[in-house]
Chain A
């Protein structure tokens, strides 16, 4: 069974631009979560989508948004990029809604975003 895939793997943007990252979960998984990983802040939860609905959200500004499609694939969008948005963005999928469940999250390889 194929794992979680993320595209693109690397991205370079300039300040003020916007970017869209894509995540394809493991087949059959319906929950997709996004995380930001930086050397200074570590791994921080962005949001989770389940059945095309955002179920939970971390403490990030509204510039960070996402969506999930009927096939469970998810996209994350960051508008008006700032230098501090440079990070590794990780996507994780699980079978069911992760809130209160014992489902394990499986992570993709991440998208390395560099903002110049």
Chain B
């Protein structure tokens, strides 16, 4: 069965430090991959997406993610974290088989220390 794993439930980094959030997926076909961010009390905002082509994807707010098929991973990175990045981050896989479903990971809550 398709699944998405975000192994880190909580991550704490200092402002200005680099960030990497991990995402591993299990999916037989070529996946559509997404990262969303959710601030407290808000809906989900799309950070970036990967459908095909260049495996390094640039998104909004200075985020990027790299698709590694051999590792079934789609890790999110940011070179320098800002206090406003504190939020919950969700990785998602979109099925491409025609039976639509987005499968979300359980999320990683990011805390940023001043």
Q: Which of A26-42 contact B (CB under 8 A)?
A: 33, 35, 42
A-B contact pairs, 24 of them (CB 8 A): A4-B43, A6-B43, A33-B100, A35-B102, A42-B104, A43-B104, A45-B101, A56-B99, A56-B100, A56-B101, A90-B43, A90-B44, A92-B44, A98-B94, A99-B99, A99-B100, A100-B95, A100-B98, A102-B51, A104-B34, A104-B46, A106-B46, A108-B43, A110-B43
Are A104 and B49 within 8 A (Cβ)?
A: yes
A35 to B38, CA, bound (A): 14
Q: Known contacts A102-B32, A104-B34; is A45 also within 8 Å of B102 by CB? A: yes
Q: Give chain A nearest CB distance to B63 CB in angstroms.
A: 15
Q: For the side of the interface on A, what is the size category?
A: 20 to 34
Q: CB of A75 within 8 A of chain B?
A: no
CB 8 Å contact bits of A94-116 with B (1 = contact, 0 = none): 00011110101111111000000
Are B36 and A42 within 8 A (Cβ)?
A: no
Q: CB of A58 within 8 A of chain B?
A: yes
Q: CB of B42 within 8 A of chain A?
A: yes
Cβ of B103: which chain A residues have Cβ within 8 Å of it? Answer: 45
A4 to B45, CA, bound (A): 11
Cβ of A43: which chain B residues have Cβ within 8 Å of it? Answer: 90, 104, 107
CB 8 Å contact bits of B81-114 with A (1 = contact, 0 = none): 0000000001000111111111111110000000
Are B102 and A105 within 8 A (Cβ)?
A: yes
Q: Give chain A nearest CB distance to B65 CB in angstroms.
A: 14
Are A100 and B51 within 8 A (Cβ)?
A: no
Are A99 and B98 within 8 A (Cβ)?
A: yes
A55 to B36, CA, bound (A): 24
Cβ of A99: which chain B residues have Cβ within 8 Å of it? Answer: 95, 98-100
The 10 A-B pairs at the shortest CB distance, nearest first, are namely A99-B100, A43-B104, A107-B43, A107-B44, A100-B98, A109-B43, A98-B100, A42-B106, A56-B100, A102-B51
